[in-house]
Amino acid sequence: MSTVETVVLSADNPLRSISVLPYRLPPFDDITPEHCREALLVGMAEQRSEVASILGSAEPPTFENTVVELERSGALLTRAWNVFGNLTSSVSTPRVREIEREIAPLDAAHADAIRLDPALFARIDAVHAARHESGLDAESVRLVERYHLDFVLAGARLDEAGRTRLTELNQELSTLSTAFGQNLQLAAEASAVRVDDAADLDGLDPEAIAGAAAAAADRRVDGYLISLLLPSGQPVLSKLRNRELRRRIHEASLGRASAGEYDNRPVAARIARLRAERARLLGFATHADVVLADSTARTTAAVDAMLASMVPASVANAEAEAAVLAEVAARDGVALAAWDWAFYSERVRAERYAVDATALRPYFELDRVLTHGVFYAAELLYGFRFTLRPDLRGYHPDVRVWEVVDADGVEVGLYLGDFFAREGKRGGAWMSSFVRQSGLLGTRPVVVNNLNVSRGAAGQPTLLTLEEVNTLFHEFGHALHGLSSAVTYPRFAGTAVPRDFVEFPSQVNEMWALWPQVLGNYARHVETGELLPTAVVEAIDAARLWGEGFGTLEYLAATLLDQAWHRLSPETDVADPIAFERAALEKAGVALALVPPRYRTTYFQHIFAGGYAAGYYSYIWSEVLDADTVEWFRENGGLRRENGDLFRSRLLAVGGSVDPLEAFRAVRGRDADPAPLLRRRGLARA
């Protein structure tokens, strides 16, 4: 087992025992980063002791004394990680980052010490061999199979030399992944674009300008500050009339973490090479093959076939859009460049479809979208009701807490919302859990959604773009997955499903954002109370396919870049990651200067500092299931409780306790049909 610093858990450490707050909500006000560090180190030691007890049993290995005991182990470590992991993403400080750098390699070594222990694997292997003759129920059989696969893919079958080398690789990869994420966060903050004169912000609405002023004030700089969101495309580019400022923002976005103190180029190249070596050690050709071994796609060939089938039509659609935009830009005497795309695309949307994105924002006030849109749809579909609990505190003043009960008044769990961008918070949007549901442990879910929207000026409401509305519905789909969980073992709770399936329920939930009954309940003008006019709703629907060429191509470019990085052999030394990126995009046929990848290498957090390495294809893979399920909802009357109950019980509630595609078939009655996705993205027509 790994050796870490000997630390004693202080008597006043709030993580020492299970929280007495409702639903075991962590007592955030009392928890410091030092408490987290202490609990993480002691938690590792406790779990090592628990594993030693399993190995010290004189009894033959059984499901209960081996697999179930492993499920129960590491309670303190889990509590600590659930808090600290969110702090690193949401309220990072220099001390938090320092602790993260210290703990990451120790945690990797700790995990390896468990999964590479030959004696422990021998017990799991024995339980696995007898699983069908042991009288286990279906969920328990699947738990045994999952543990066995986890250990095999972690290297349990390696010899001693192989285990030693694998441990070294995992520790270095953990350190590098932490460095990548921290570099990106600091580079993004350093790359925020400062504007001196408000006149340069012409085109932005007053709320956005006030938000830029507030961002500058928060950072204690003069003027206005345009903070960068995680993807390449920055939303403000669609409105700014100052072309030079558009260029500055675009180049700042694409150049993040690609030079200087926070340069992620060597970090990314080293991560890719070490992952390739690890894959070879485990008996796989590439890291992508390792990832696909535990997915619904199964093989790289299946992923390649899907992506290749979409590239030609996506390129054709994007080029057709570019031709239209070039004509519109020429009227201004502008030769279309990448930083002009969003601006002129918005003009085309307004001219052709009478959709003005800025004019929509007053209809999308954050709290109303959340309570009268997101929560409203969840109540109609699933019977969930949300009650604000101001007596329960989050980990930051921005965080609010809601209690969730079902239609019968039975307690479900807690939902936390952390929606505003701020210093110390990584970009993007995500869902995570503080407590996972488990029948074995007697726990109910506590989940959190993070977004990065610009806060309204003091005393003013926060208005969302239509894209941010969709993002809120999307991330809430993940939250519903966690809240709906009804499994025995925490290993299967909520979103604990294969990476290429996890986005499916969240993408389905996006459909309710523009569902007439839901839209009519939340889309009211923040000042007049006027409903979003029917003509505008019709225009939004008519404009649905405009921009799909760009959107699909930028996504495919990022996906194919991910695959290129993770198909490397360990002998390949990428000396120039930017040149490698360019060559990979050209080879894949997606290198359009006007359409950069959604994420470039140096800020591709999903794959270098997240769980999507060789798995970014998951979004489009899941969208096949999503688009087909949306049609199922429509065929069966849409927003009906009967539909929600079936989707919840057969798919959301079971988490990873059944094969994901079996869960899909239990809802749809058949395998997925890709045709709805092709129609949605305009690829069938192309």
Q: How far apart are CA 282 and CA 5, in angstroms?
A: 30
* Token pair belonging to 656: 């990873």
Residue 365 annotated to the active site: no
Give Cα 237 to chain centroid, integer Å. 24
Q: Under DSSP, is residue 259 helix (H, G, I), strand (E, B) or coil?
A: coil
Locate 197 and state its tokens: 């004169």
Whether residue 108 contacts residue 86, with contact meaning beta carbons closer than 8 Å, is answered with no
User: In whole angstroms, what is the distance from residue 201 CA to residue 207 CA?
Assistant: 12
3-state secondary structure of 524: strand
- State the pairing for strand pair 411-420/446-453: parallel
Please report which residue ranges of 452-571 form alpha helices under DSSP H.
Answer: 466-483, 499-509, 516-522, 534-542, 548-565
Question: What separation in angstroms does the CA of 308 have from each of 296, 303, 428, 614, 670?
Answer: 18, 9, 28, 16, 25
| 586 vs 530: CA distance, rounded Å | 49
Residues pairing with 449 in the sheet: 417, 431
Of the candidates 207, 475, 510, 554, the residue annotated as catalytic is 475
CB count in 10 Å sphere of residue 569? 12
Q: Spell out the SS3 assignment of 418-445.
A: EEECCCCCCCCCEEEEEECCECCCCECC
* 594 backbone φψ class: left, alpha, beta (φ>0; ψ -120 to 50): alpha
Neighbours of 666 (CB within 10 A): 15
CB 69 within 8 A of CB 54: yes
Which residues make Cβ contacts (< 8 Å) with residue 635, sequence separation at least 6?
Answer: none
> How would you label 392-416 residue by residue, b for 16+ Cβ within 10 Å and e otherwise?
bbbbbebbbbbbbebeeeeebbbbb
First to last CA, the chain: 57
Instruction: Indicate left, alpha or beta for 494 from its phi (over 0: left) and psi (-120 to 50: alpha).
Output: left
Q: Judge contact between 75 and 35, C-beta under 8 A.
A: no
- From CA 462, how far away is CA 420, in angstroms rounded? 9
Catalytically active residues are 475
